[in-house]
Structure 1
């Protein structure tokens, strides 16, 4: 199940914001992949306030501990801090705000800090962590597992219509 994602190209999309922090190393300039859009996660129900069961499913459920090795797929519906193995050692992803079709988060790895945020149906962000920096891309995303990149950790955070986001962390 390989997902083709635009990881290294900057998207200019309304409702999306992010910033990158690097330690002076040049950004990775690999070949960008083609973008693939997906349907918004979640099922259309006439009542967005109904939350008896989240509309997204994730391979690791809601088990934040599954991310410790730098490879997981979890559902997130509240502010939380996820600790995982990054390319420069321990890293954290903190979900700052989450709601229907909205997500903002901060990633810290070594001396690097990156922020991402998106709002709207089918919106999300991809953050790529490397030893000497990071990059963000926000806009229309798929909830499919992003492709691994050598020497990097790829993070996909896709907002869901019911306030539950899908978080993928891929390092292999």
Structure 2
């Protein structure tokens, strides 16, 4: 009996020693964080084609008949709008040569169709039309893909204007009449 207890005690000690070596520390590494602190005092406002205002502004699209949007992929009524980036008084205190970049930052429940990358209507029971954004070259922006939702322009004379367009987009052949409303988050970075 004593030998069984002794064997069990030796096995238990061996197990603890083995377990201790299993939890031994391995070599580590280093993480480096970098960043930039800007001295820019630039502010964002809605320029031409918007309702004006500070960082939050609106773009009102002109009304369109649903018969114009009767085929999948049909677009109508492009509306040009501008992000205006300047100092608070609009006199131009932003550093020339700085690149202002607008990035769209959708989060989980934002109204973006993952198949088209367009804004969807947030008004229940209203039109099923979508709104498509285009960059200054007229190329559609896929808001669902963060790599395709960036528009940049240099600051010149203390001001940067980033021109874009918004237009109605028919996802299906049956576009229902009604109102449209949607929102989109964005950030502006200066480099």
Q: TM-score normalised by the shorter chain: which range applies? A: under 0.3
More strand by share: 1
Looking at CA atoms only, which structure, 1 or 2, has the larger radius of gyration? 2
More helix by share: 2
Q: TM-score, normalised by structure 2?
A: 0.25
Structure with larger RCO (C-alpha < 8 A, sep 6+): 1
